[in-house]
Amino acid sequence: MELHVRYEGDDDPKKCSARKLARFDLAELHRATRSTPPGIVCNPFAEQALSPADAVGSGARHDRLVALDCSWETAEREAFDLQGVHRSLPFLVAGNPVNYGTPFQLNTVEAFAGALCILGERAHAEDILAKFSWGHTFLELNEEPLERYADCADSTEVVAVQDDYLVED
């Protein structure tokens, strides 16, 4: 699956996971919305959760994932005006040093890795995370939910699994 990033460039370049993916030819950066190809857009504001039903081969048309790389401080609904099928990632926690343990605050490589695992491309997720010293931590922290999400049939089931992690006793 191709990985494409609409790159804003407003984060510290030394900590930018999208730039590092591009350096290793694991993702393509796009400086403008127009030049960003359509795909499955990882959008935290999307109304529908990503599920295995979005995987190519299950009737889905897109063989690429698209993410917006910007600072969480500047991330707004309007910034995700990208072509494609917009999907939100379910509950996952960050494993990166900046947002470690924070739910839903993933950096770009974590968003891609989480999406790839849900779409049944775990080996691809491991490959991109291997470029980061903390990459294995993301998979370790999210092992159970990622496996459960990947076993779901559709978005409704993914949201039901997510509720197991969000509902307080």
Question: pTM of the full predicted structure?
Answer: 0.93
- Binding residues are 17, 68, 89, 108
Count the alpha carbons within 13 Å of 111 in the hemisphere toward its beta carbon.
Answer: 28
Question: Do 128 and 109 meet the contact criterion of CB atoms below 8 Å apart?
Answer: yes
Beta bridge partners of 67: 5, 42
Query: Which pLDDT score, from 0 to 100, does residue 60 have?
Result: 67
- Binding residues for S-adenosyl-L-methionine are 17, 68, 89, 108
- Alpha carbons 21 and 73: distance in angstroms, whole number: 22
CA dihedral in degrees (137, 139, 145, 150; nearest 10)?
A: 170
- At 86, the pLDDT band (50, 70, 90 cuts) reads very high
Query: Which pLDDT score, from 0 to 100, does residue 164 have?
Result: 94
pLDDT of 78 higher than 90: no
Query: Which pLDDT score, from 0 to 100, does residue 29 have?
Result: 96
pLDDT of 73 higher than 70: no
pLDDT of 8 higher than 70: yes
- Alpha carbons 49 and 153: distance in angstroms, whole number: 12
Q: How far is CA 68 from CA 90, 106, 122, 149, 159, in A?
A: 17, 12, 21, 22, 23
pLDDT of 6 higher than 60: yes
Q: What is the DSSP letter of 122?
A: H
Q: How far is CA 44 from CA 57, 75, 80, 96, in A?
A: 24, 9, 9, 18
Q: What digits encode the pLDDT tens for the residues 107-129?
A: 999 999 999 999 999 999 999 99
pLDDT of 95 higher than 90: yes
pLDDT of 56 higher than 80: no
Query: Which pLDDT score, from 0 to 100, does residue 104 have?
Result: 94
